[in-house]
């Protein structure tokens, strides 16, 4: 079974994402900020990280930069989830190491397509 870590400060987004991911047969863990997410990755590296851009404690960009430096941190597919939709933000996410990008709010079909694009659904 594939594993996904949802890193988002919104409890609602984590709940909706968990529901979608579990229906796609993922085991799911959650973190409410980048620092907590990084600690969870150090314990057990997930197959996929669903990552919020704007969070307290540590932003999504800071998280992915540090994740990619960890042993095995190059392995997870990272899908940024954000309300930022301009090309500069998308470029920044991809250059920081993101594999894909999904706009909030997203639904089951949209997330499933993004996971298929990174080879995880």
pLDDT tens for each residue of 83-107: 877 789 889 999 999 999 999 989 9
Check: CB of residue 81 under 8 Å from CB of residue 52: yes
- Please tell me the number of Cα atoms within 13 Å of 15 on its side-chain side: 3
Confidence class for position 47, pLDDT limits 50, 70, 90: very high
Mean pLDDT of 24-53: 97
For residue 92, give the DSSP letter: H
Beta strand extents in 8-120 (DSSP E only): 26-31, 48-52, 77-82, 100-103
Whats the size of the chain, residue-wise? 121
Residue 119 backbone zone (phi > 0: left; psi -120 to 50: alpha; other: beta): left
Confidence class for position 57, pLDDT limits 50, 70, 90: very high
The CA distance from 51 to 63, in Å, is: 9
**DSSP helix/strand/coil, 7:** strand
């Amino acid at each position: 079974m594939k594993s996904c870590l949802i890193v988002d400060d919104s409890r609602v987004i984590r709940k909706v994402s968990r529901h979608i991911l579990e229906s796609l047969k993922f085991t799911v863990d959650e973190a409410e900020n980048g620092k907590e997410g990084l600690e969870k990755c150090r314990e057990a590296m997930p197959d996929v990280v669903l990552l919020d851009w704007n969070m307290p404690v540590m932003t999504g960009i800071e998280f992915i930069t540090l994740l990619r430096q960890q042993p095995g941190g190059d392995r997870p597919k990272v899908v940024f989830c954000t309300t930022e939709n301009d090309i500069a933000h998308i470029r920044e996410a991809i250059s920081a190491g993101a594999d894909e990008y999904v706009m909030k709010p997203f639904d089951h079909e949209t997330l499933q397509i993004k996971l298929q694009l990174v080879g995880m659904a």
